[in-house]
Amino acid sequence: MSRASVKVNDLSWMTGGPQGSGVDSSANIFAGACVLGGLWTFGLREYYSSIKGPHSYFEVRVNGDKIRSHVNNVDVLATFDAETLIRHAEEVALGGGILYDPTFANVEIDKIDSIETPVVLRIKSRLTKQGLPGTVSGILEEAKRRGVNLFSIPYNDIIAKTAAQIGEHQLSKLSRIVNVLSVSASFGILGFDENYLNRSIERAFASKKKVVDMNEIGAKLAYDAAKSQLKQPFPFQLHPIQNQPRLLLMGVEAVALGKLVGGCRVQTYYPITPAADESEFLESHGNFDISGGNNPSQKGSILVTQTEDEIAAITMATGAALTGARAATSTSGPGFSLMVEGLGWAGMNEVPLVITHYQRGGPATGQPTRHEQGDLKFVLSAAHGEFPRIVLCSGDMEESFYDAIRIFNYAERFQMPGIHLIDKGLANNSMTISPPKGDLVPIQRGKLIQGDHQGNGDEEPYRRFAFTEDGVSPRAVLGMPSYRFWNTGDEHDEMGHIEEDPDNRVKMMTKRMTKLDTAAREISEEEKVNFFRSSKKQADVTIVSWGSTKGPILDAMKLLERDGIGVEFLQIRLVSPFPTETVKQKLAGAKLLVDIEQNYSGQMAAVIAEKTMIDVKNKIVKFNGRPMSQDEIYQSVKQVLSNPAQNKRVVLTLGA
Amino acid sequence: MALKLTDLKTDVHNDWCPGCGDFGIEASLKMALTEMPVDINKVALFSGIGCSSKLVHFTNAFGIHTLHGRVLGYAQGAKLANPDLEVIAVGGDGDGLGIGVGHFVHAGRRNIDMAYIIHDNGVYGLTKGQASPTLHLGMQTKSLPEPNINSNINPIMLALASGFTFIARSYAYNTRHLKEMIKKAVAHKGFALIDALQPCPTYNDINTKEWYGGEDRVDPATKRPMPRTYDLEGTGYNGTITADMSQDEVDKNLVQVIEKSREWGDKIPIGIFYQNETVPIYEERISERIPSYMREPPARQQLAKNDGKSVVNLANLSKELLFESLVLAQ
Ligand SMILES: Cc1ncc(C[n+]2csc(CCOP(=O)(O)OP(=O)(O)O)c2C)c(N)n1
Ligand code: SF4
Ligand SMILES: [Mg+2]
């Protein structure tokens, strides 16, 4: 540990433990303290599809500048159970630190049932090769030999002392503070003022004075216990900096906030991971403050309804949309599969219904809590027949927020279902961002008939599906006098009555499909794609991708640029209607094209080929359920660059 | 101006088979609409898929013809977003009790203030006469290659078990009765079901108009047919639950509904089997969480100011996620 190599405000910290033991809350308290100290964070949350018991972990990366992804290495591993130590110790880099509970030293690795046999065998053979015992102390010794610093945190003693200080005799009542103790001990070695942690604890347990007290007392003891073991400054340090107020949030919260700002007033859902958190956030913010508007109460509200299944969810939301309310449903793969007939009905009847689709590992239940971008082609073609739809993919928290507003605008302006495509990585990861602007994206309702609805004034009966130049007809809603209309899933005439006449069919199909051209024309270029380029003039490589890979790609671009590699990155956001000309133009002169996607086959590359006839020959894909890290992209892009012909398809595999 | 029957006509060609019971249901509904104190501009008819579900195109009111089995999803969604609407759902027995039976059950749990008419013809009319869920075990209607292999659903009993708060049965060709049932169902505060027995002369050659009319059973004394349906009203039967009833009385009443619902064959009761307005409707349950719901429901909230900017105060909404950096004295 030489002073020279101290890294300030560039840290990757990990905690873990049995699901339900407070892993999430400790990671949030850790990140909260960092943000209160003006730092930026990115949090990676990984958990099993079960409620109590199995191992989950949360990696928080902290930096003095904005960061958008996780990294491969862990610098500080804060454990309070044996399993986290056993599973993750090898990820801790040279010079990093491990905090552990000394009472676990003799725990044998193969005695922990929840670790899968292949993992146990792999770790044991690694230890045996080094002549080490198959126990926690073997793991610790291995880490020490590698140059990792070990910090023994006597959690039980600290809890006992805390209990004595607050006069609580039942130690079990305090056992839950152990995760906060590990956070505090981490700050002890990182040299980060404990007051930030105390403020973060106070926020987390706002109304529970007693809980705050015991956490703060324990935290102080843990902080000192860790700090006292330092013989010289720890090679990783966190220093507070002056910063603007920031939001610390998850993707589901960004979407939910966007929906509320964007005017969503009905949300239906059937519980599914990782979508349900969004609906729960909405339900717990069912009444909110507004200014302006016609509500005498100066309160807005959203009706969140849990339905009996996803078919009910999509049909109810569609029924709500027919009344003029902005309505949405949120789901994930299995639920969307059930919704497709309803999607087609909304397409046929030109209903501005919004579906927020959170991709996770498929097919079937697949990997319910794991990350994948495997549904792109599915949402593009779901439901029988041909009808127009908007598909908009967000790449990060800010986009998730703004796109949640835009998707309603598009759905209403072009009168078609709008699918907002998100993924598990984005949904569950947390990030520090600048507060988005509530008025950046105005609300646009297209040809919705407004006003007091006292009649349309002329003798002609209202035609809901009147033929128009741009394919979009003036839209009345249920309950408007003299704007009577009919809807049917059958082909229909302008009134909305069933009509099987072949000429009418041609006209109606054309009308509906024309709206896609209208949308392509009217949606601004900035909303269709993002194009990033590093400062070097000529790009050595042009990356094309979509969705939450945006974060690690942007972070990896900085590393590539540092190595003198010029990079361009085309992030495709609007996939239907597809920005064919823009994509062609951006990819045309590329020296080397690389498609990066979190799926097996490279679905976006296939869509690009279909739409532009451009063949993206090199792909970097990942489909093990764990998001890509900045380092994986950095390394794999270099690998492709080193020999494109030999590296047509690089499969990334990291992640626990 | 009072609504006339002719106001409810559309130009759409009616393609139901001659003699179809659906005509009786359509006529009863239209008569009910003209006699009820409702604003026709607020009436929204929803239907599923089947012969019966075409009804909405023949009626001059907002008409939403949806998917097979999903009428209740669309109808409930519209009603919740705009509780001012007078929502009436119609559909076939296959629609509501076959493919859509899950929604039927859960609609009972919600108890939204709307009405639902099932055209109960024992067959899947539009797909050419397969057995519907209300056809009894062993029955072989005209187009069945073999007798029905399944037992039937009893819509009255299922509705009771699901929490419907108004359960009635009527008969398509007793339009006066059906019209009264529809008026009562619409006036009822809560989710109301009418099981409308509907002859399908094309595919159901068992439960025909003649069969319901008892033309095979002539009273020897009067030489007149003895109809199989009889009105519960006037029999002393009372299926109303009131707030002052003891638990015991309520239980007795429920048992009586089940007993009545099992009568079939030569004696088929029509009328109100059950009515319970003591159960809070869904709209009231929502209002407990969202006090402004009835005054400012989703469909009536203004979303943006004149310049298009959202009315929502994002700063207040995201307060719990906002972190002010506080650089402390070291
Ligand atoms: C998902 C789906 N499956 C099957 C069908 C075919 N289908 C159309 S109508 C119908 C049955 C109609 O029977 P019922 O609901 O009793 O109405 P009826 O025609 O008797 O009035 C079926 C199965 C469909 N439209 N949709
Ligand atoms: S098939 Fe039966 S239900 Fe359908 S229209 Fe004809 S008679 Fe009526
Ligand atoms: Mg039927």
Q: Does residue B317 lie within any of the structural domains?
A: no
Q: Does residue B268 lie within any of the structural domains?
A: yes
Q: Say what the pLDDT of residue A453 is.
A: 46
Confidence band, pLDDT 50/70/90 cuts, at residue A451: low
In angstroms, the CA A363 to CA A371 distance is 12
pLDDT per residue as tens digits for the range A582-632: 999 999 989 999 999 999 999 999 999 999 999 999 999 999 999 999 999
Nearest Cα to A619, choosing from A590, A594, A646, A652? A594
> Counting every residue, how long is chain B?
330
Q: Does residue B324 lie within any of the structural domains?
A: no
Question: What is the ipTM score, two decimals?
Answer: 0.98
Type of residue numbered B249: E
In angstroms, the CA A148 to CA B78 distance is 62
Q: Does residue B23 lie within any of the structural domains?
A: yes
Q: Does residue B305 lie within any of the structural domains?
A: no
Number of the ligand 2 atom closest to the C-alpha atom of B201: 7
Dihedrals φ, ψ of A582, to 5°? Answer: -60, -45
Into how many domains does chain B fold? 1
CA A415 to chain centre: 28
A511: its two tokens: 């009308």
Residues of B in contact with A37 (CB under 8 A): 325-327
Confidence band, pLDDT 50/70/90 cuts, at residue A53: confident
% chain A with pLDDT above 90: 90
Q: Which ligand gives the minimal distance to the CA of B15? A: 2
| 3-class SS of residue B178 | helix
B166 is in which domain, residue-wise?
5-285
Segment A4-11 mean pLDDT:
89
| Contact across the interface for B310 and A263, Cβ inside 8 Å | yes
Confidence band, pLDDT 50/70/90 cuts, at residue B328: low
Q: Does residue B328 lie within any of the structural domains?
A: no
In angstroms, the CA A165 to CA A167 distance is 6
Tell me which of A522-536, B123-137, B172-186, B249-263 is least confident: A522-536
**What's the start-to-end Cα distance of chain A, in Å?**
28
The verdict on pTM exceeding 0.90 is: yes
pLDDT per residue as tens digits for the range A349-389: 999 999 999 999 999 999 999 999 999 999 999 999 999 99
Type of residue numbered B180: E
In angstroms, the CA A198 to CA A614 distance is 55
Segment B274-294 mean pLDDT:
98
In angstroms, the CA B129 to CA B143 distance is 6
Nearest Cα to A372, choosing from A415, A408, A423? A423
What's the mean pLDDT when you consider all of chain A? 95
Task: For residue B67, give the nearest of A341, A478, A496 by CB distance.
Answer: A341
Q: Say what the pLDDT of residue A300 is.
A: 95
Segment A234-242 mean pLDDT:
96
Q: Say what the pLDDT of residue A2 is.
A: 45
Residues of B in contact with A413 (CB under 8 A): none
Task: Check if A461 contacts B (Cβ < 8 Å).
Answer: no
Confidence band, pLDDT 50/70/90 cuts, at residue A292: confident
Tell me which of A315-324, A430-439, A444-453, A508-517 is least confident: A444-453
Q: Say what the pLDDT of residue A458 is.
A: 58
**Domain boundaries A527-652, CATH class:** alpha beta
Q: Domain-by-domain residue ranges, chain A?
A: 3-237, 249-433, 456-522, 527-652
| 3-class SS of residue A376 | helix
Q: Which ligand gives the minimal distance to the CA of B203? A: 2
CATH homologous superfamily for the domain A249-433: Thiamin diphosphate (ThDP)-binding fold, Pyr/PP domains (3.40.50.970)
Residues of A in contact with B57 (CB under 8 A): 486, 488, 497-498
Nearest Cα to A354, choosing from A415, A422, A426, A420? A420
Question: For A3-237, CATH number?
Answer: 3.40.920.10
Q: The dihedral of CA A372, A374, A380, A384: what is its sign?
A: negative
The contacts of residue A359 (CB under 8 Å, 6+ apart) are A332, A333, A372, A373, A374, A375, A421, A422, A423, A424, A547
- How many C-beta atoms lie closer than 10 Å to residue B294's C-beta? 13
Confidence band, pLDDT 50/70/90 cuts, at residue A20: confident
Dihedrals φ, ψ of A145, to 5°? Answer: -60, -30
Looking up residue B74, the CATH number of its domain turns out to be 3.40.50.970
What residue in A sits closest to B80 (Cα-Cα)? A320
Confidence band, pLDDT 50/70/90 cuts, at residue A240: very high
B314, B316, B330, best to mutate vs chain A, most A CBs in 10 Å? B314
The shortest C-alpha distance from B152 to chain A (Å) reads: 23
Confidence band, pLDDT 50/70/90 cuts, at residue A10: very high
| Contact across the interface for A487 and B64, Cβ inside 8 Å | yes
| 3-class SS of residue B138 | coil
Segment B99-105 mean pLDDT:
98
Q: Say what the pLDDT of residue A298 is.
A: 86
What residue in A sits closest to B82 (Cα-Cα)? A323
Top mutation candidate among B127, B128, B198, B204 for ligand 1, by most atoms within 8 Å of CB: B127
Ordered alpha helix ranges (H), A22-146: 23-36, 82-88, 117-129, 136-145
- How many C-beta atoms lie closer than 10 Å to residue A503's C-beta? 8
Peptide bond into A577 cis (omega under 30): yes
Domains A3-237 and A527-652 share a fold: no
Q: Say what the pLDDT of residue A1 is.
A: 44
Contact of A400 with B272, CB cutoff 8 Å: no
Q: Does residue B303 lie within any of the structural domains?
A: no
Task: For residue A290, give the nearest of B106, B307, B313 by CB distance.
Answer: B313
Q: Does residue B318 lie within any of the structural domains?
A: no
Å from CA of A42 to ligand 3 middle:
57
Q: In degrees, to the nearest 5, what angle opens at C-alpha A411 toward C-alphas A346 and A440?
A: 160
Q: Say what the pLDDT of residue B117 is.
A: 99
